[in-house]
A and B are shown apart, each in its own frame.
Chain A
């Protein structure tokens, strides 16, 4: 009501330094809290995918043999990408309800909260990259200049995760069991994403449904530039980006409406 008199873009550029500082301090806070709460601190975020990797290697290389070259690198790439996505969605779902004191501050931009969650996840992802590179080198992968596309893929995944986060956090205000339901759904999608198996095994007649999962294309694109040194599937990435551009504003509005409602109701 008030902001309509000011041009939105002008307002944004005036707020940008503030939002940047806010994002920094909130991410900083989240990281510090994580250090303080667990003895292992940041190491835990690395140990968890490594243990998962160990299990997959045991099951699919020792028990049931899958013929997939450079298996450790293959799985670890998938795990890092998936974990970033999954952890953020989980945390972002509860973000409105858990941040009540912050939301009640006059003028607090609530919409920044899911971005904080996804940024914190990105930092963990980046911190794990040296280990990924170590795996790649051990598996004899030759890194090509295409690796430089990594930030672009991260940006697309970032935007995609934020889009979903807004939607889920908004839903969680009305239905407080969203987080539980989400757990089940995410577990299903974990198996519907090529994290520990090959895409080649998907029969063509199922591909049209299977391919609707955007994570399928994103995980593959990461592997294309990191492991195989080939151009990513630009068409798929463009379509995903296009859909994000449409959905992000919608989920953002929904989130804003719901976060207001949340504060007003209690």
Chain B
């Protein structure tokens, strides 16, 4: 398939200026033009290469300041690379700061015209598509009102609608899915999926790893301007998460050895990681830490937050002695945003059936900072769980199953 986007060894640097760089003509004239020149270069991106074929979606992940926005600017030709080359085939649409281009004093209709023409449609094409744009944005009644009377949601709906109705062959998306109401979000997602099917190449920038895993065909992980990993979304996402874990280790303070409620020693950086801003003080497994194959399991985490913490993420996973993880669930990928937590509290996860093969397992629990930046407290291989079953084997799953034997012997002899 033909590449819609080709990025080869791209590098981009910014310039740092003298702190006392003159900002006005007068100053410059008085103090001399020496300090107008930049002091040094700082690379915001270096040696970045990837390609996106038509109909493909690539996810770019990384922490703040990793160069994600710079990459989008380069792709949008808003900035030019200092090294390497970028090839783009087709019209580029962008879902970057939605609605910023609108002028408050103009009506929605007038703004649609200007914005759509800027994106590359002709006047006649805009006139033809106007009804569809307005209908998609659900703004039929308000389209002739000045945009300054719109709510943020209405502005974004209109901006999104314009962007997708200009038939871009390449779409640049910047974290927009985290804003707007839920029904609008799902509408956007459907719309993007449809465009992708019709052959639109999409670049999604996000720091939500699970979103990239779900939506993208490939993932690119940027760290401090360089590519850390590029390939299958699940693989890249895994590496990204691992890296975060090692960062957590560095943040883990020295902490006296504690005993867990079940009596296991909690040793920092061995089976316990995290900054301890929030501590896991107790984990309860119900009905018991020894269950039957077909039983359900309830994991209750008791925590203590010494100071208020915003949007934490709770996670529970089940693994075997060798570290293989069989189950992994967290509040973020279940779509739960938690409020600010403080002091003591409890959170529970109810698993209806485990259906794991008999053996010894560990329940790992963790509390993470917003966006998985690092862990507050993570207990690895502390809480053991034994699944009793008379069925053993090399498999992992043991769902309810039956063998049925039907002999075909009689019909064979007849013919």
A25 touches B120 (CB 8 A): no
Contact across chains for B105 and A37 when beta carbons are under 8 A apart: yes
In the docked arrangement, what's the CA distance between A56 and B96, Å?
A: 52
Complex alpha-carbon distance, A171 and B76, angstroms: 25
Interface size on A, as a range, is: 20 to 34
CA distance A23 to B185 in the complex (A): 34
Count chain B residues whose beta carbon lies closer than 8 angstroms to a beta carbon of A: 40
Quick one: which of B95-145 are within 8 Å of A by CB?
96-97, 100-101, 103, 105-106, 110, 113-114, 117-120, 122-123
Q: Is A1 an interface residue (CB 8 A)?
A: yes
Pick the residue among B24, B92, B113, B114 that contacts A107 (CB under 8 A).
B92
In the complex, B86 has a CB within 8 A of chain A: yes
Type the 1/0 row for B55-93, where 1 means its CB is closer than 8 Å to any CB of A: 000000000000000000101111111000111100011
Residues 42-64 of B at the A interface (beta carbon under 8 Å): none
Write the chain A residue with the least CB distance to B88: A2
**Cβ of B149 to closest chain A Cβ, rounded Å:** 13
A18 touches B120 (CB 8 A): yes
Check: A12 CB closer than 8 A to any chain B CB: no
CB pair B120–A107 under 8 Å, yes or no, is yes
Name which residue of chain B comes closest to A4, CB basis. Answer: B85
- Within the complex, which residue of A26, A37, A174 is in contact with B114, where a contact is CB–CB below 8 Å? A26
Is the pair B101, A105 in contact by a Cβ cutoff of 8 Å?
yes
User: CA of A171 to CA of B79 in the docked complex: distance in angstroms?
Assistant: 19
Tell whether A32 pairs with B110 under 8 Å between CB atoms, given A2-B85, A21-B122, A105-B118. yes
Minimum CB distance partner of B96 in chain A = A104
Contact A22–B86 (Cβ < 8 Å): no
Q: Is the contact region of chain A dominated by helix, strand, or loop, or is it mixed? A: helix
Residues of A within 8 A of B96 (CB): 104
Report whether B14 and A1 are in contact in the complex, using a CB–CB cutoff of 8 Å. no
**Quick check: B105 and A107 within 8 Å, CB to CB?**
no
Contact flag A32-B24 (CB < 8 Å), given A21-B123, A104-B100: no
Q: Which of chain B's residues have a CB closer than 8 A to the CB of A37?
A: 105
Bound complex: CA A238 to CA B313 (Å): 73
Provide the residues of chain A in CB contact with B106, threshold 8 Å: 29, 32-33, 36
Docked CA distance A174–B21 (Å): 10
Quick check: B14 and A29 within 8 Å, CB to CB?
Answer: no
Contact of B24 (CB < 8 Å), options: A25, A104, A175: A175
- Counting CB contacts under 8 A, is B340 at the interface? no
A18 touching B97, Cβ below 8 Å: no
Name B87's closest neighbour in chain A (CB-CB): A2
Q: Determine which of B80, B92, B118, B119 lies in contact with A1 in the assembled complex, contact meaning CB atoms within 8 Å.
A: B80
- Contact call A103/B78, Cβ cutoff below 8 A: yes
A1 close to B86 (CB less than 8 A): yes
Q: B17-32: which residues lie under 8 A (CB-CB) from chain A?
A: 22-26, 28
B385 interfacial by beta-carbon distance below 8 Å: no
Report yes or no: A264 in contact with B79, Cβ–Cβ below 8 A: yes
Interface contact B105-A33, CB-CB below 8 Å: yes
User: Which residue of chain A has the shortest Cβ distance to B172 in the bound complex?
Assistant: A106
Interface residues of A in 124-155 (CB under 8 A from B): none
A101–B96 Cα distance when bound, in Å, is: 10
What is the minimal beta-carbon distance from B250 to any residue of chain A, in angstroms?
32
Instruction: Tell me, in angstroms, the Cα distance from A177 to B23 when the chains sit together.
Output: 8
**Do A107 and B77 form a contact, CB below 8 Å, given A2-B88, A17-B122, A18-B122?**
yes
Residues of B within 8 A of A33 (CB): 103, 105-106
Q: Which of A106, A107, A181, A263 has the most CB of B within 10 A?
A: A106
Say how far B46's CB is from chain A's closest CB, in angstroms. Answer: 16
Question: Which A residues are closer than 8 A to B by beta carbons?
Answer: 1-2, 17-18, 21-22, 24-26, 29, 32-33, 36-37, 101-108, 171, 174-178, 181, 260, 263-265
| 12 intermolecular pairs with C-beta atoms under 8 Å apart | A22-B117, A24-B123, A25-B123, A29-B110, A29-B114, A32-B110, A33-B106, A101-B97, A102-B118, A176-B24, A177-B23, A263-B78
